[in-house]
Amino acid sequence: MSFELKIAWRYARARRKSLARFTSFVAVVGIAAGAGSLIVAQSLARGFADEMRDKILANTAHVMVFSKDETEISDWRAVKEKIETLENVREVSPTTYANAVVISETATIYAILRVQSQSNAECRMRNAELKTEGKKLATENQTENPHSAIRIPQSEVSLGARLAEKLNLKTGDGAEIATFENQGAPQRTFFRVKEVFQTGLYEYDSTWIYISPENFARLAGRSEFMPTILSVSVKDIYRANE
């Protein structure tokens, strides 16, 4: 037995009529409780940070490629193929972000319109999040509004859960969206809500709208979609700068 343990054992067995034993016990319990609380707090903080990181990385680009003047990438297919040859790249998807205003029967709200191909991996991760966290919400939003058939929808979009709640829209409902590109007259179109997604991040769920490249081109009055950004998903986020 070590010297320290001998001293501790000796004083622990002492039967002197004093407060030394009691105060020692209280001190040990206090230190143990403090250490336990610190471990629990660190575990909760680490778990929260990991969850937030996973949600953010699942719904945003790891690397964004755009032109110097931030205009359309005319040769985006060639650039996309070149980026895909890099070792750490998982997938490259063309996209565009646009300011928009959504107009429903009850509200008019600002939103961010994002072009999102339903076939890329980033969208699959988002849909997995929808199934696990937003299953109840998606089920509750399956009833279609009979008034949504008044106008023929020209596009289908996916709305964030909080945005859909503010607009009082459900899956199958129709509303109007206006975008402001090229600083000209706003482009307006009537759309149908294809799905309501939930990422768990309030900023995304309250402002984001996903639209397919074909529907965005139709909204902009063009025959073909031209992206302004190439969204790159990498295998190892910590090697994204290589």
Question: Each residue of 161-212: pLDDT tens digit?
Answer: 999 999 999 988 999 998 876 666 778 888 999 999 888 888 889 999 999 9
Q: What percent of the chain has pLDDT over 70?
A: 78
Q: Is residue 239 part of a domain?
A: no
- pLDDT tens, position by position, 57-91: 777 778 888 888 888 888 899 999 999 888 888 88
Q: Is residue 165 part of a domain?
A: yes
DSSP string computed for 120-163: SHHHHHHHHHHHHHSHHHHHHT-SPPGGGGSS--SEEEEEEHHH
Regarding whether 213 and 115 lie in a shared domain, the answer is yes
Residue type at 226 in one-letter notation: M
Higher pLDDT, 40 or 19: 40
Residue 144's pLDDT band, with cuts at 50, 70 and 90, is very low
Secondary structure class of 179 (helix, strand, coil): strand
Give the domain range for residue 20: 3-57
Higher pLDDT, 154 or 202: 202
pLDDT at 162: 93
Regarding whether 118 and 38 lie in a shared domain, the answer is no
Q: Is residue 64 part of a domain?
A: no
Q: Is residue 182 part of a domain?
A: yes
Rounded to an integer, the average pLDDT of 100-123 is: 80
Domain count, the chain: 2
